[in-house]
Each structure stands twice: as C-alpha cells, then as structure tokens.
C-alpha cells in the first residue's frame, strides 16, 4: 500500500456491509490469513475503479447519484408540500 493515506467516511446499507463481511470471512478461510472488512472494501474499490467503463458500474453510479439528488430536492421542499 502507498505511503500517502487519506481517511474517508463511507456510509453503506446494512445488507452491503453484511455481504462484505461474508466476503471477508470467505477470504479468511480460503487464504488462511486474517482478512478485515477494511481490506475487502479497499480491494472492492480498487477493482471497481479498474472497470470504470463497465455498464453495471455506471448504472450503479447513476442510481446512487439520482437518489442523492432526490434526497437533496426533498430536503428543500417545505414539510407540508411533501405529502
């Protein structure tokens, strides 16, 4: 790993976190080495970035971007007008 490090706050849905924990457990058994959740998430990010033009990755990014836009727009709407 590189000497330059940056801390990042990552908010994940519980099911995504659970799936990553399963991957960590399987990797621990397969490799016979302790594999942490952080190692798994770091590897998933690196491997995902290698596939920056993959249609499924782009679709996932689009879905998340639209969800963020929707949440932000709902935050601007007065409470009475939301219903």
Assess whether 17 and 46 both reside in one domain.
yes
Residues 37-82: pLDDT tens digits?
A: 999 999 999 999 998 889 998 999 899 999 999 999 998 877 776 6
Write down the pLDDT at residue 81. 65
Crossing angle for the helix pair 37-50 and 14-31, to the nearest 10 degrees: 100
Assess whether 37 and 24 both reside in one domain.
yes
Contact 3, 19 (CB under 8 A): no
Assess whether 19 and 46 both reside in one domain.
yes
pTM over 0.75: no
Write down the pLDDT at residue 77. 78
Total count of domains within the chain: 2
User: Coil, strand, or helix at residue 52?
Assistant: coil
Which structural domain range is residue 71 located in?
52-83
Residues 5-35: pLDDT tens digits?
A: 899 999 999 999 999 999 999 999 999 999 9
Q: What six digits make up the tokens of 40?
A: 């798994």
Residue 2 predicted with pLDDT over 80 = no
Give domain status of residue 83, yes or no. Answer: yes
């Amino acid at each position: 790993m590189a000497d330059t490090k940056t801390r990042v706050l990552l908010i994940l849905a519980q099911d995504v976190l659970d799936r990553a924990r399963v991957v960590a457990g399987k990797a621990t058994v397969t490799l016979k080495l302790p594999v942490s959740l952080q190692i798994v998430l770091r590897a998933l990010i690196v491997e995902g970035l290698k596939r920056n033009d993959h249609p499924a990755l782009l679709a996932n990014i689009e879905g998340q971007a639209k969800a963020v836009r929707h949440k932000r727009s709902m935050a601007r709407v007065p409470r009475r007008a939301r219903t």
